[in-house]
Every structure is written in structure tokens, then in C-alpha cells.
Amino acid sequence: MQKINVKIPAYSKGSYTITIGAGFLPSVLSNIKKLLPKKELFLITDSNVAKTKHFKNLLGKEHLPRYVITPAGEKSKNIGTVTKIIEEMERKSLGRDCAVIALGGGTVGDIAGFVAAIYKRGVPVIQIPTTTVAQADSAIGGKTGVDSSISKNAFGIFKNPAAVFIDVSTLKTLDEKQFNAGLVESIKHSLIADEKYFVYLQKNLKGILERKCKLLEYIAVKNCKIKAAVVEDDPYEKNKRRILNYGHTIGHAVESASNYKLLHGQAVAIGIIAANIIEQKLGLDGKERLETLKKLFGKLNISLKIPKTITKRRILDIISRDKKALRKWPRFVLLQKTGKVLCKNGQFAIQIEREIVEETIDILLKQKF
């Protein structure tokens, strides 16, 4: 078992700990009680996780007040779900002396973190991620929020967790499509920060897909160290933290335009391909990397096809609302080379000419890459 301390200078607690291991979920609740003594605990999970052994492994014989998000997934990630959860907490007479536990994937963690941030002006939240995407990315760093009817994560706030517990054995119950798509965030981390890690993921992909715990622990530790280093440097995304959005500008737009029929990881994979196309158009290193990524995503059975119902106009409309946008035009995170993000005039997200972006979207839609 390994522990990673995430230092956030502007965070009132100063830091929080990420605990990573395999098979320790049954001991987590007692650890939470030691960390947050006298706090009344409220559990938020979803209908998928509630059917698994993880739910019982966490709770044991304990009966905590809870809310089960139904249906599971991005379609429930909206302000209406947040309202329902808060009203359920009020019905349970929970006050500011309560704490929220998030048990589940990225959607559960985002919703639970947002609820904790705004309930009674803020209560602690514990993140227990159970998916590849949540363990690699969304449970770490304190970003929380829900979608509007127009775009992804339109409502949001930074809410650092009191602690994160990553039990990689929970990934063994995840279906193949979700597991594979979630690995895209690990690939993204390697692309922006560590070329050797990118090579490692390729060489060890077979064992990772077989869900060997030692490999899963290794990538969890690697992901958390990469993200923690970025978050510590820029906790509220003023500049450098934007590198964590590599592949997300067009990726989020495609995900939103699909009405969340595309998994987040699949959409980000498409966005990463888009970023590589833009990089080549700007004369940056990347032709060989693009071919490597296409093969890697192929081994993960991740389709890079954008649904025919999604138009260029729709994608452009959504990216104009991207959180990195200036004057209604997005800024892109790009790679100078594998493992290193391009920094221009001290900025890690840069604006690209509209013509290049439109050409890139055309290439994606026509599958000519």
C-alpha cells in the first residue's frame, strides 16, 4: 500500500492523502471515522455500484444514510440530481457536522464533491473511486461539478477531498468497455508528463487489460503523482493545470454533442487525435506518435469515429463555450513532444486559428487521419 500527500497551499487543511492499494476496501470506513471523528457520514453511490460487492465491502454491517444515483452515468450528472441529494440530506437532518463519501466512478465523484461543496456552505468529502477514469483523474485534484443541458461541467466548484482511497481491486468488476475507455486518462497523463510512462503503458498493456493488481497499482501511483504535482503547482487552474485538459477541448464537445452516448474516455481519445492533428499542422513533433496512438486505441477497442448525427457546426458551437475559451474561441493544450506540453509566452493553453481547427474537425469527421 502506498500513500501520496497532495499539498494545496490555499486549501484550509493544507494537504490530503491518497491511499493506494489492493483489497483494502473493508478497512476504509474505519479509517474515515478516525480521520473525521464525530462526523455523521452520508454515502453517495450509483445504481451500478450498489449492486456490487464493493458496496458491502465498504459498509460491512454498518448502515449509513445514503443516496443511490439512478440511472448511473452522465445522464444523471445534472443540477436536478444535486437538488434531490441535498433534500435527502436535509430529510435525514444532517448538519454541518456531516461528511460525504463518494463511492463510484467519475460521475458519482463529481456530483458528491459538488454536493459537499455547497451543502450548508460546505462539508468534507471522501473520494473512493471505483473506475479507471476516476482512479486516474477525476477523484484527484478537487474539481467537482455537473452538466447543463448545453455543455459539460457548466456548474462547478473546486472542492478538495479530505482523503482519497484507491483500491485497484474494485476495477475487476468494471465492464471491459468502461475499463478500457478509462485508460485513456492514463495515456493522457503519460503524453503530457512522462514519455517513459507512455512506453510502459504500451509494453504492459496485455497485463493491464488482464487487470493484474501490481500493474494497476503502478499506474494508479504514477497517475496520482503526475496529477498531484500539477495540482500542487496550480490548484485552481490559472495556467499550468490546464495541461490536464489535453485532448479534452474537442473531446468534451464530441461527448456533449453525442448526448453522452460516447463514454468520456472514448471522446477524449478522439480529442487527443484532434490535438495531434493540430500539432502536425503547426509543425510540431507528432506524426509517428499519431500512428502509435491509433494503434494503441485500436488495441483498447476504442472507436475513433464520431457519430454521423454530430456536425462540425455543433462541435464548433460547443467548443466556443469551453472553459479555456477567450472571446468565445477555445485555447488548446498541445504537445511540444511526447511527455512535454508546449508552453508559449508562459501559457500552457494557446489559441489556434479557426481555419486550422475547422480543418481538423473535417479530418475527424471524414476519418482521414
**Which sequence positions are flagged as catalytic?**
121, 143, 185, 227, 237, 241, 245, 248, 252, 264
CA distance 100 to 43: 6
Integer CA distances (angstroms), 20 to 164, 168, 175, 352, in order: 9, 8, 21, 39
The strand pairing partners of 158, in sequence order, are 143
Integer CA distances (angstroms), 215 to 9, 174, 329, in order: 32, 16, 40
Dihedral over Cα of 185, 232, 111, 217: its sign: positive
CA distance 21 to 165: 8
Q: How many CB atoms lie within 10 A of CB 363?
A: 16
258: nearest Cα among 323, 303, 293: 303
CA angle 357, 347, 152 (to 5 degrees): 55
* φ, ψ of residue 330 in degrees (nearest 5): -70, 160
Pairing mode of beta strands 155-158, 143-146: antiparallel
CA distance 242 to 343: 11
- Structural element, H or E, at residue 31: helix 28-35
